[in-house]
Structure 1
């Protein structure tokens, strides 16, 4: 940079030589330098003003753009701390196999209070208690005046209740939007559906989460926003489910039973068309879990999936199938039935004296414990245990119910010869009715093990799932038909539907480790038609009693078998099954005495 000299010596010297005043030259030079400095400072100031203007324009433009973006977006409920996932309130429907809605979401409202805005807290409390009888006016009044800023009053209210609260006219009583689960069929299929409740909750939203049954098992799928429009389709047929529950309720009432189970399963696929456990509950108003007493006495207890019972003589066809499959017996093989049978300090008896020997078929027809014990000993503990493992009786049932996954069969600690004997006729091993239904389906459908399922569209079993040969399956079907035609299950016969199956009456264990002689589990495991089974139907009654000629009877042949026959008459037409011959006139649920187990 070339600096301008402070004094213009050349001009001063020239001015002196020409006789001029050199001070004027120097003054002129100073004035020029000052003017140049002013021009530079002005340019710098203008540049700074321009840059500041640009900054202000950009700042105001950013703010204006953000305001426009916010004003054009949908409002979202603020979350505490501003972290976490948003609350998803929607939930997919659940439908039966025919598309009938079993569970859906409906829009409703919640009710809360901001006590500081209440004009008349005491009056509001009294009026709310009149609308909601479960609320206490004094408690509400105390909560309204204890200094709190917020109070939940009701998580969900009906439109009528909302209008009545609105009519109170209190500015401190406010409503929040809610979606809640509705079960339009009430208690029907309650133990299948399970129920739902609120999870994460805010003033303006609450998520609906499954608490039991398929609602809980498929909770993530039902709440997935990507499939909300695709309902979860069950294999249940609501028409059949309703009929089965009606029949069970009638049977419980007439037989004074404390509980009942009904399972209708497709023999070829394991698809469950109906599953009932009584007593039941309304999932729209699901009761609280019991805090004392026997959990099995609660209506929430799913006897089909959670109830582990010694199912008595219904195990005898499984024992016979083992012997047939091992080539140890045929239907006409003679079996020792001379009794009583002694094994160490234990004695095995039959309900009646059937003579010294019976054919294998008649062991089933007459339900001989001794004959079954001898077949069990022929099979042996190792083969018996392997067969139960193969047919799915040693693990929790794979059906899509939370309760089933947590319920493993009760097995002997040591599988001794005595265990083999007692298990051969259904004692010493406790399983759920679902295990029994799946085992019968696998046994009679041609020998392919089925996987019980409550979801529509499951794949049928393949040859890789074979548990017994077709020949064994055919022989079992024929023998179990004879149980109904001339054996212990005559009261289960329904003209035109070719019913087959096996009764089972098992004494219930007591708290002392023995068995209660006056309390039984009565079961009938059946299938129909016997020649080509389409459905397996298991009926199980807890502590039934029928009185005939002033005498009480508890055997399955007089309790569970007639209930099952009544159920088939109700559900077979709903399944589209026409009787093979004109049906007999409707008969009473209970009958005169005959048969034993």
Structure 2
């Protein structure tokens, strides 16, 4: 090979060709890779993640009757991963567990190691969690902006408010009702109204709700009951001011609501309500015209049906008139009066009072009453004092409200200002005179009967107690009871009804071994009345009302006829 003086050896032409060819090949590879990267970027932009569910949509705020927020939407983010784009699964798992320590490590590693295109990591995270995860910068992990439902008062009125699922769709209570009022249809049409939804104002008073729940919780603990329930209802329009069922749950953790003991005992639980039913039986008897306040019924011997006998608890063993039978809560008298009216009329009367049909309100949770298909004399006798028929406490409250508000049966509501006329189930279920008689008897019971421990000074309350034996192993067990109390205030012109139920309360030394309603449900209701009435703007009256029961005024002249063989207090009763 020939050399030149300046440059040494001269390269052959084929070397230059080979070098150019290799440069061209490398350039083509780089161009191909670059083009592929550009294409992938374009595809990522054009083809979004295939979400398994649509992003959560806005819901209207829920307010109490005074405008306090019960439920609201807050911004949130859900975390997802695209396993196919994972660079280092172990590093991703470690980072995710640092932010979300409650995740299952083995399950997370298994899902991130798969070849799937998408998997959820965590739904509805907090802003702090999102910021922490963002700082880690884990490849293949992303966020989706969503809305999370927040219940700022925690457990307060949980059984009324209900809850939503992770997609912000109502699954219980008022939240479910809201969806059924058209919100779900709007979502199905692809509309997202954002912040344009008007808030929904419920009939609940958050302050009254707290007072009710607080006193009820204290009673459940004190009497070692397995559960408790209560409500405050405006008798004049059927609005529910407060409702509590214990144990309850936190709607911010909706899975707690799935526990079997977390049911809404007021609207879903069905119970034999015991002697509270005697208010309805007495109203039926008086309204039938077969009995009046002077009627005397012999309760000196048990009521017998073959081998089955109906006795009085701590019976007087003598003839009783109607006021006596009410304050002594005589099973015998109630059974005899109901049988005199007749099984068919008895059944018809209870149906008119809404006790034999499923009660429907805004709450989707409800239960059908349980009663005998064949209604004979024995059924009439036992149902007259609240055994042999099981209804929801809300249903029973509705019936009691009707017999003391001059016979107007209103379907309860949880929405403030819901039109009353649209909820009138029946008018004139009892006469005005019968209604006044029931108010008089309930007031009398608070003065000299079993409701005395609920008689709060200045509030002129009335009420009826109830203690029912529960069925254990197919038989009634006298040691396992459900106690209930229905109180009205003020008794002469009822505005509010207070209902309390304690499930399996235990006797205490201070109750002298008794577990009946007068020793537990009644005093608890008295405490609730004392706390709630001032909240609702009703202060204690300095003096009793003048002539509170005008149709019953003649009772003052009945003297000894009012209490045959008993204390002669009618003519001097302090209303």
3-state DSSP class of the match of 2:482? strand
- Equivalents in 2 of 1:550, 1:89: separation in Å? 54
Whether 1:423 aligns to 2:383 is: yes
Task: Report the equivalent of 1:380.
Answer: 342
Contact 2:315 2:328 in 1 (8 A): no
Task: Report the equivalent of 1:409.
Answer: 369
Task: Report the equivalent of 2:248.
Answer: 280
Whether 1:367 aligns to 2:326 is: no
Q: 1:91 aligns with which of 51, 59, 62?
A: 59
**Map 1:120-135 → 2, pairs under 5 A:** 120-135=88-103
Give how far 1:146 is off: 2.8
Segment drifting more, 266-275 vs 216-225: 216-225
Task: Report the equivalent of 1:255.
Answer: 223
- Equivalents in 2 of 1:77, 1:105: separation in Å? 30
Whether 1:538 aligns to 2:493 is: no
- Equivalents in 2 of 1:474, 1:76: separation in Å? 75
Give how far 1:228 is off: 4.3
Q: 1:439 aligns with which of 383, 388, 399?
A: 399
- Equivalents in 2 of 1:126, 1:298: separation in Å? 38
Give how far 1:119 is off: 3.7
Q: 1:214 aligns with which of 156, 174, 179?
A: 174
Whether 1:500 aligns to 2:462 is: yes
- Equivalents in 1 of 2:496, 2:438: separation in Å? 15
3-state DSSP class of the match of 1:509? strand
Give how far 1:549 is off: 5.6
3-state DSSP class of the match of 1:208? coil
Task: Report the equivalent of 2:207.
Answer: 239
Contact 1:506 1:520 in 2 (8 A): yes
Give how far 1:330 is off: 1.2
Q: 1:528 aligns with which of 489, 514, 529?
A: 489
**Map 1:163-242 → 2, pairs under 5 A:** 163-198=131-166, 207-221=167-181, 222-223=183-184, 224=186, 228-242=196-210
Give how far 1:77 is off: 9.6
Contact 2:50 2:118 in 1 (8 A): no
3-state DSSP class of the match of 1:431? coil
Cα-to-partner distance string for 1:85-139 (whole Å, 9 max, x where unaligned): 9766111111111222111111100001123433432132123223323212233
Contact 2:56 2:147 in 1 (8 A): no
Task: Report the equivalent of 2:41.
Answer: none
Give how far 1:270 is off: 0.8
- Equivalents in 2 of 1:109, 1:426: separation in Å? 53
- Equivalents in 2 of 1:216, 1:325: separation in Å? 41
Unpaired runs of at least 5, structure 2: 1-44, 187-191, 545-575
Contact 1:489 1:561 in 2 (8 A): yes
**Map 1:321-340 → 2, pairs under 5 A:** 321-340=283-302
Segment drifting more, 127-136 vs 188-197: 127-136
Contact 1:91 1:228 in 2 (8 A): no
Larger radius of gyration: 1
TM-score by length of 1: 0.78
Task: Report the equivalent of 1:100.
Answer: 68
Cα-to-partner distance string for 1:407-434 (whole Å, 9 max, x where unaligned): 1100112101000000000000000000
Task: Report the equivalent of 2:30.
Answer: none
Task: Report the equivalent of 1:515.
Answer: 476
Cα-to-partner distance string for 1:326-383 (whole Å, 9 max, x where unaligned): 1111122111111222122211111113132111111110111111111111111111
Give how far 1:478 is off: 0.3
Whether 1:309 aligns to 2:271 is: yes
- Equivalents in 2 of 1:544, 1:515: separation in Å? 16
Contact 2:250 2:256 in 1 (8 A): no
Task: Report the equivalent of 2:20.
Answer: none
Cα-to-partner distance string for 1:175-229 (whole Å, 9 max, x where unaligned): 111112111111101000110113xxxxxxxx42110111112214345457942
**In structure 2, do the counterparts of structure 1 residues 336 and 560 end up closer, same or farther at CA, with 3 Å as the change threshold?**
same
Contact 2:71 2:151 in 1 (8 A): yes
Q: 1:351 aligns with which of 297, 301, 313?
A: 313
- Equivalents in 2 of 1:463, 1:148: separation in Å? 57
Cα-to-partner distance string for 1:259-302 (whole Å, 9 max, x where unaligned): 11111111111111111111100111112675xxxx7x421x11
Give how far 1:464 is off: 6.1
Q: Give the count of matched residue pairs.
A: 490
3-state DSSP class of the match of 1:557? helix
> RMSD between aligned alpha carbons?
2.4
- Equivalents in 2 of 1:375, 1:77: separation in Å? 77
TM-score by length of 2: 0.81
- Equivalents in 1 of 2:172, 2:377: separation in Å? 40
Task: Report the equivalent of 1:467.
Answer: 429
Whether 1:140 aligns to 2:108 is: yes
- Equivalents in 1 of 2:379, 2:309: separation in Å? 13
Unpaired runs of at least 5, structure 1: 1-74, 199-206, 584-597
Cα-to-partner distance string for 1:141-182 (whole Å, 9 max, x where unaligned): 232223333221101111111122122221222111111211
**In structure 2, do the counterparts of structure 1 residues 152 and 467 end up closer, same or farther at CA, with 3 Å as the change threshold?**
same
Contact 2:205 2:242 in 1 (8 A): yes
Task: Report the equivalent of 1:155.
Answer: 123
**In structure 2, do the counterparts of structure 1 residues 288 and 101 end up closer, same or farther at CA, with 3 Å as the change threshold?**
closer
- Equivalents in 1 of 2:88, 2:543: separation in Å? 73
- Equivalents in 1 of 2:288, 2:414: separation in Å? 33
